[in-house]
Every structure is written in C-alpha cells, then in structure tokens.
Structure 1
C-alpha cells in the first residue's frame, strides 16, 4: 500500500500484563471469599452461645449483643457484595471473553473447487459463508482505501474504539432505547469472528473490551487483512475475494476503482445496498448512491482525485449472472457424491479442496449442444423427449463428457440422469453373448442358423423373432449374425453356452446389477435385463482395451488447501461401482476374443445387409466398432461405438418409459447423435486400427472363397469354415 499504516505504540507485553492482572485479582478474591466463609461460620457458631447463655449478671444486655452481631453480619454481607462479589463477577466476565488468538486460529470456511481436466471451474461446494482469503499486499491500494474510507476513516489513528462513537451509542441507548452502529473496523471484526450478533449492551461491552485487546495483540495490517477476508458482502460472499467473484466474476486483485467502490459500500447493509436488487447503474439506486458516498470520502481522504471519482462513478458496471454456477451438472453430482463419501460433509464444504476431474469442458459443451438440438429435431419426429451421452477415454476409462439429459435445468425432467438410469439395453447387450461364445470355442466363421426356432424354458415356450420379421437362412455365420444383430442366433448361442454364464460374464464386465441367481431366461441375450448407460459404455470400452476391465474414473486428483495431493486417480468405485462389479483393473476376457468382437463390429461390409453401406455406424476415415440396440415396443434406443482411444455411448427415449414411434430404432434415434458425437471426438485424431493379438491369424479358404480371423488352433483344417456348425461344437 502507498500510505504506511501507523503501528500501535503499545507493546504486546502489555496485553499479557493486563490479562495477568485480572488473573491475579481473581486469585486474591478467591482467597478473600475463603476467609470470609471461615469468619461467617465462626460467627454463626456464636449464635447458640448468645441465645442460650446462663442468666448471670451480664455486663451487656443479651439483646444488645445480638443486635451488634446482626449489624456486623449484615455489614459483612454488604462488604462482601461490594468488595468480593462485584470484583469476582468482573473477573469471571473477563475470563469468559474469547481470546483474540482465535482470530488467527479460526480458519475461514474455504470452498471445495471442482475443476475440469484443464483447470476450469465446474462447481464450488461451500457452506453459507464462502471465504477465499487473500493477502493485503495482493490488493490494489484503492480496494483497501475504499473500505477504510466508508467504514472507518480514522482506522490508523484509534486503538480499537472511538469514544465519539461510543458516546453516540450510549446516548441512543439511554434516550432512544436503541442500539446504534458506528463500530470501528476492529469492532466489526470482533463482532463477526468472536461474538454473536445479538444487539445487547452486554455484547456491545464485550465488543469494546475485545477490540482494545485485539489492537494490543495485532498490527493494523493484520487487523485490516483479517477484516477484508471475513466481512460479509451479501449472500454467501464473505471477504473481498469471494465478493469479487460473486458480483464481477474476477479476482479481487483485478477490480477497477468503480467496482471496488461499489463493493466497499456493501458490508454495512448488504441487502439494502446490493447492486443486484435494482438497476445498479441508475443514479437513483441505493447502490449507486452508496458508491458515490464511498468515492467522495476517498476524495476527502486524498486517496483519489475528484476526476477519478467522477470517472469511476460514471463507469457502467457489468455484473456476473447470479444463477447457481454449475457446469456439467450431472457429472458434478457424481463427483460430489464420491467426495462426500471420501471426506464427509464438514471437510468437503469448509476444507478448501481442489478437485481436478477427468472432464473436458469444451467437449462436454459440444456434446450437450448436439444432444439438446437433436432431441428437439430428431426426437420430435421419432417420438422421444430425452437423451444422454457418455464419452470415455478407452484405455483409462476416464470420463471426458457426461450428458445426463437434454437440459439439466428443465425441472424434474432435466434433473433425471439417464446415464445412471436402469433401462433395457435391447440388442446392444448381445456383445456379452458373442464374447461368451468366442471364449467358449466358437469362431467368427461358426454357423449359427437364423431359422425358425422354439425354446422351452421354465415351462414356457419361447420363440424369438428378428427385428425385420424375416429369417436369413441356415448358413448364417457368427460374424453375419452379430454384425446384423439378428435375434435368433444369439438365443441359440445362449442355449449352447448357458444363461447363467452370460449373466456371470456381464457382471464381471461391470454390469453392477447382473447377479447369477437363476431368475434369468434366454430373453436376457436380447436385452431383457436392465443396465445403465455408464456400465454398458464402459463394457464396450473393455473390448477396446483388449478385454481388460478398468473402473470408470471421474476424479484425477484432490489437493488440500495447502496444495498437498490427498487423492489420485482411484476412480469412483466406493459408491458408484461397488456391488458385484470388479474394481481397478482386471483381465476379464482374452485379448483374442476382444479383438474378434471389435473386428466384427467394425466390419461395415458384414452389417450392410441390414444397415446399408452408408449407415450412421460408418464413420468417415475412421475404423470404429459399433453396435445398436432397440427394446421391445421401442421404449429405448441405444448406439455404442469405440476406437482404441475413445468410446461413446448414446441413449434415447422418454423418462416416463413411453414407447417411441413404432418405426423408431436405436440406429434411427440414437445413431445420428452418436455419429455426430464420435465424429467430433475423432475429427483431429488419426485413424487407428485395432491391434491384432499374436495368437490371432487370418486364414484364407480358396475352396469357399472366404477369409476369416481365427485364434491359433481353432481354424478348421480339412473342411470349409461354413461347415462348422454351432450345434456340432
């Protein structure tokens, strides 16, 4: 600061002497009380002797002696009140005062800041008092000068109190029967940090005494810095830094004179002078009038010139929007829940944690825009009103974008998080069945007939049908059946390899609610068992990782208010991914099976009979494994796809579970959104092919004019692969 503050001339040792003085007085009083009690007991013992003494010739009449005793007794009582009780009460009163040491010991409630992976703010968690401490030296001179000018223009001259203000307050109490303000900066600091806000004479007296003690213990700079960091500016904003963020969305060190003078006028009455209540740039608003008062007092104090004051007063101020600031809200809710589980509410709301998350805010905003726009356009035509999307880094399972609804702020509909909602997955779950079959010895060339088929299960007859209502022949290969999402072949496979084995594998791949209990039938392979978009997207990502399950990660690191790292990239398995899902990393399926699945789902030629050569599953210039899903009655539409680097999942439907239009499918509802999202993710990424494991080979068969990938040792030697029938395995 340009003007050096006048330091208090009273040495700090006098503070300790004053406290020791009262302690000494208290000890003396306690000794006097003990002695007084002894004397009173002695006097009481004389009463029976006086009353019942024998009737001899008394030198003095008994009644005179009794009267003399009573007078002495009551005189002793009065003396005790004056010389013992009153000092002792004063002693106790001083002893119960808060110590000024608490001003430094009392840590402010610092907010927890949730950031994206580039350090951009997503949300802050704090209690009613949101404090961000700053040092006095970091603030421009005029920020501090404005506060001193309007709150306590003689701050550097007094020693904690101003007698003129105290006399004015006493006059108001005695004559007007009310308490007045007019407190010094030191008194306001004491009131806000050490005392309650009740307006009583006793509290005011404590405030005065503590202010004197505080001035003896701390320098003026310390008092001023504590004040600037802890005074209320309105709402949850406590301290100049918090106020600067709230009203102008900037750090206090970057405030202009106009902004600083507007904020300086708030602490005396934050609601009355709030610039957010009315048009703060109107010369008739209380906020503008108060700002002018501050500026003119600064001119009087020779902090600024009249020209500077006039320019600052004329400057039109732009205030930050006051909506609850939150970006990627559904994502933030997940992070908050995990942090609460890790640290508890008290530490979370006051500990000043800095949480760096996996989210890419730029990508998040782009995906949110795609979802919101397409729900309004495609959704209107297809009969759905909501959608969600999730993007993962394939190899690490870090969540890069998380869109839980069309619009989070759209009441109950928007708050519904479809990424966490349990819905039936339709054909998108077939990936588990085919992985089970490939792990069990089937190959992409294995014949799985798509012919009429009836299965008896649990005393019921189950007859699966294809989405197009047709049969595609007795020589359909596993590759063709999977790529075109025929329904009959996976039911044949599940009959061969077992429903319970499929449910078990799904659970190992991260489907938290998939537990083997014997309650599932063959319809599970067609999507009869519910999943979440989060679980199923990460399941697809597991295949991009070569069969390695990795727990989804929302948090990269957490640092405490001192900057020390207290948490690092451990995911959210405590709350979100507990249950039966694996945690951290575990190889669930073989690399060869993962590759074969990826190769089939990336085979555009293989899926052309049903989806066409130029479907939304075909991403220009990129090799992408993709799969769709549609549930019975068209209630849910899904599309998933992945590359070695990124995995994207999209869901469409209605929150109330109403069906979409009868002709709507996963490829026609979720597909277009999925294509836009993954194209955005991959626009600056070179094409990547899935790595072929060392135990997978490509075999060519001239006889039947086909080429196919096989795990070493599984390729037929003497016959064409098309002669390998699933029923013969």
Structure 2
C-alpha cells in the first residue's frame, strides 16, 4: 500500500503571523525600535570615544571626567603618584643644585671676636670682658675615654651617621616657628659646623645652611678631623672654649691628664654650663652628678667602657672653684655676675655672652658701690679681729641697695674680692632671714583682717605712726610691739591663724623667690626661709611704695654690634598688698629702725624703715634691712667655711656686746646711708603721700 507523501506548504507571511497570534505590523515596530536602540548605543559609544580622546588630550584629568559627585573631585592614583614623583624629583634636583653650590667657608677668626663691655649707670666704662680662652690640641692629645664620653653623651652614632639629624633639624625648625628653644637633636658634625663656620642665630635659614654644610663637611672631612674640631671649639662654660681650656678651668690640668670620671663631667657640661656646672648652685650639682653617672653608664651601653671599668667610678669628681679674670677684681666681678644673671633671665645665654659684641648698660652707680664697700670694710676693721678672736674668722657680708621707685639695683657688696671669694654674697640664697621675715607675716595678718572690709586703694585714715592691734580673731595680739621687741611667739601664733600659705603668698608677691621659701611649718613665720640680700632689699620697697612691688633689675639697655636687643624693658610695678597694710607695717619698721641705728647724722627725723635680727634669734645669721623712699638697702652677715656645708654659729662674733653679730649690719647700713643718701624729713601729711 502506497503511502501518500505530504509536503508541508509554506504559509504566507501574514498567515504565519496569524499563527503566532501577533499582528504583522507589531513585529515591524519592534524591529524599528531595535534599530533605534542600536543606533543610540552606537552614538553613545562614539561620544564616549570622542570624550576619551578629548580627556587624553588634557594634561591633568582633574576634576575627573566621567565621574559624578565627590568622585569627580577625588584624584586618581595615577595623578597622585605622578604629582609625588614630580615633587620628589624637583626637590632632589633643588637639593643637588644647592649642595653643589655650597662652599665650605673659612673658619671663624677668633682674633676678630669682639669683647662685651659693661658700663656704669652714668655711662662711664666699667669693664671689658671677652678675651678668648682657647688652646687647640690634637685629637691624639685627648684620651680616648674622653672622646668616648663626649660621643656617648652627644652623638652615639657619630662614626656611622651622614653628619646630620633630619629629625633634629625638623624639631628645631618647628620650635623656632613656635618661638620656643631649639636645643637638642644636632649631631657632633652639625655642632662643629655651627661653632666653626656659622653664627649662633636661632633661625630657619641658619639651620638650613647648617644642614648642607654638615653634609658636605661629613663627606669631605675625616670623622677624626671633625671630632678634633668639635672638641677644640665647643663651649664648656667658665669662659673656656675647647677641651684644653676646659680641663684647666675645671681641674687645673691639661686634657691629656684627665681621667675617665673627669672626662665624663666635662662631657656633661657640654649640654649647658649654666645648668650643669656643679659649682654654680646645689641644683646644678645635682643635675651634673646625675648626667655624669648617666654618661658613664651610657659608655657601657655603647661598648666603649666595660662594666668592670665603670664600677671604679663611684665618687663624683668635684671640680675646682671657678676663677675670675683679674679685670673683675674687687666688686666688679660680682656686678658683672648680677648683670649676666639678669640678661640670662631675659633669654641671653652664657654662650651668647661669650660670643661677645654686647654693650651692656647697667644700673650700678659707682659712688654707691664704693660707699657700700667702704662701709663694710670700716665696720669689719673696727669690730672684727680674727687674729685675737677665733669667732671672728670666716665672717662674710653681703649687701644690696635698690631704688624703690623703679627697682633698679644701684649697689651691691658680694664679698671681699671676686677673684678670691667666688660666691656672690649679695645674690645667693642659703642665709636664713630670721626676724627680717616677720614684716611679711604682719602684712599677711593685716590683709586677712582687711578682707571683706572697705579699704582705700592708695591711702587710709588710720594713723600709720600708731601701733596697730590685730582685730578678731587676733584681738589679743599686738604685732607692732612684737616686731619692735623681736618677740617670736606672737608671730608663730599669728602665722598659724592666718595660714602659712597666705604668709608665703604675701612674701612672694612682695618679691621673694618661691624657691627660697622654707617648708610650711610653725618656724616658717620666724624666718627659716633664705632669700638673698638683693631680694630682701627689693621686697622691703613694698612698704614705701604703698603696697606695690617692682621686680629688681640691673641692666637698663643692651646692644649687640650696634643694634638694640629687645626684651629688656623695665619691669612694671604690681600690687603686692594693700596700701593700708603697707603703711601700718612701715610704721612699725620705722620704730625698729630708730631703736637699731638711732637718728642719722644731722637728720633727727630720718624717714627710715628697718627689719633686723635681734637677741631673741637663735639662727646663724644677722640681718638689717632699711628702706626709705630713696633707697632700700639690706645687709647680711654670716659665717661660712668652704669645707663645712652648713653655716657656722654667730655666737661670739664681734665680742660680747654685738648680740651675736646682729649689732653690726645696722652699723654698715648707717655708714652707707650717711655717705650716699641722707634722708629728708617727711612732709606734715605723713609718709603715705610721699611720691
């Protein structure tokens, strides 16, 4: 049976569309839409390609094309890395260019170094200081352990570094911008370059120049030559430049004879002689001893000294006392010392002064300095006899005279001779004030009483010449009489009731230094604190200045190489206590003055105030401070011996009628005032209105 073959027939297009259920015109629309989409995509692609080609033509794609929002303003990693490489390359090129052009200059010519000249208040020349104390030595003449001590203390990586410390320079630059000190961080090479080729100016420009010179010197000079130069140019204090001069200044021997312990101390003072010369103060001694020990330990850590060798050096190598040049004999050395301390308190370092070129105009009046010295010598000659009375041996006198209206120090007596007795007795602490401190207790009690009551800013209706009994809770006390009689008990009691903190605040506000204050215990009120003669004379001006205090100063003007040095303006007065309290205490002190020195010659109504130690004091000092509107002068007498750390007793000094020496300072004060400032009687309206 034959099967019939069926051949499917191709339907017309329209019929096929009908079989799918979609009209033919809809398919045509879809096809048209697809073509449009294709064309749009192609157009966008062409636009993107054009934008890409245009973007490629931009030197820097920023803000970034094809990004939106914050991404548009975020640089690409290519841009960031490119800018970094560009800056690094530019800086490297600049560094190489500057380094290539920098030439190592000739070393400083020490012969051209200028002296520092000090002048009296009247403008006449007092003294010139500034000869260079330096003697170069070969590195072979410096013991290796001294070299190791210096390297361990200053730059342990000296033989391995490139001559600079970038972090140290950066830290110094930041400190300069902040107006702070720029200490630390420099390598030995940098310090040598600064000492030898550059100035000591603390500026960014000088630091940058130091950087390039240090790199060049380190590359062109052997390390041994650099170390030798550093040791010969460094400042060790005591007017000593270089290790040889320092060795003589501190130990009286050449550098080749130094031992490791002495070498460690000299390495310690390189950090700053003002802070580490152990002879200058107890605080300096403590710092120097700590750093000396650390340097020895540091040498063990760096491998330049064995632990066994280190164990040999347990006793601190005490240096000899400093010696002043003969040009500073007599009182001149003490005057220079006080002027320099004032300059250092205003930011001029000892190294700056040693660099020379300064003109220093002081407040010291020559006639008053001579008169004060004459008064001291006169009383010593008349009342002390060490050859016959052993108790008169080792007696020291310190004195200072200050102008109350502005705080100028016009005269001091620092000791017998600045080149023989090195401690400045006028400006040193360590001598208890005893009863001379009581006026500040009295003033604190009055201030406490006056708190909450109405007071006058510049005056009071109370008669300042009459004793002032203390009101409740101290009504039974009469500090006026106790002050005149040198009675301790009321002051101990009143100090407890007022509060010793309050007493200290009044004393410090008046001008005594915080670091001279004793511990706050019952005896504090009767003078266990140890202010200097300069500070007590200054603090007593408060009682003649209606309660205002002025910081003492000794320099009126400074120039360096003809240019005025800033920051040396006169101190401004400040309120230390009420004018009422100052007048009342001043009245009591005037009575003390009359009982102590009697009327001055030809001045039966001498307007003087005084604080003095008396027979009731059991301390190792004798004081007299007399203040008038013209001058405030303090005189201290005490006994000290170089090999004895504490003061010697004053018992027997000046004979049995001297009240353990307390009768002698008033005699010095009286002789001085008769010579330089015979005071005038007060006007009828009383001392509080006197200018």
TM range (shorter): 0.3 to 0.5
How high is the TM-score relative to the length of structure 2? Answer: 0.47
How high is the TM-score relative to the length of structure 1? Answer: 0.45
